[in-house]
Amino acid sequence: MFSGRFDHAIDDKGRVSIPARFREVLQREGHDRLFVTNSYHERERCLEVYPPGGWEQFLQKVATHNRFDPDMQKFETFYIGGAFEIPVDRQGRILIPPRLREFAALTREVTFSAVRDHFQLWDKGTLERVLRASESDLQDPEFYKKLGM
**Per residue in 114-128, pLDDT tens?**
998 999 999 999 999
Residue 15 confidence (pLDDT) above 80: yes
Q: What is the DSSP string of 65-107?
A: S-TTSHHHHHHIIIIITT-EEEE--TTSEEE--HHHHHHTT--
Q: State pLDDT tens for residues 77-105.
A: 999 999 999 999 999 999 999 999 999 99
CA diameter of the chain: 46
Contact of 80 with 72, CB cutoff 8 Å: no
pTM for the whole structure: 0.91
Q: Which domains are assigned to the chain?
A: 5-147 (3.40.1550.20)
**Rounded mean pLDDT, 29-43:** 93
Helical spans, DSSP H, in the chain: 20-28, 52-63, 70-75, 98-103, 124-138, 141-147
User: Is the C-alpha dihedral spanning 57, 4, 9, 87 positive or negative?
Assistant: negative
| Burial class of residue 76, CB neighbours in 10 A (0-12, 13-18, 19+) | middle
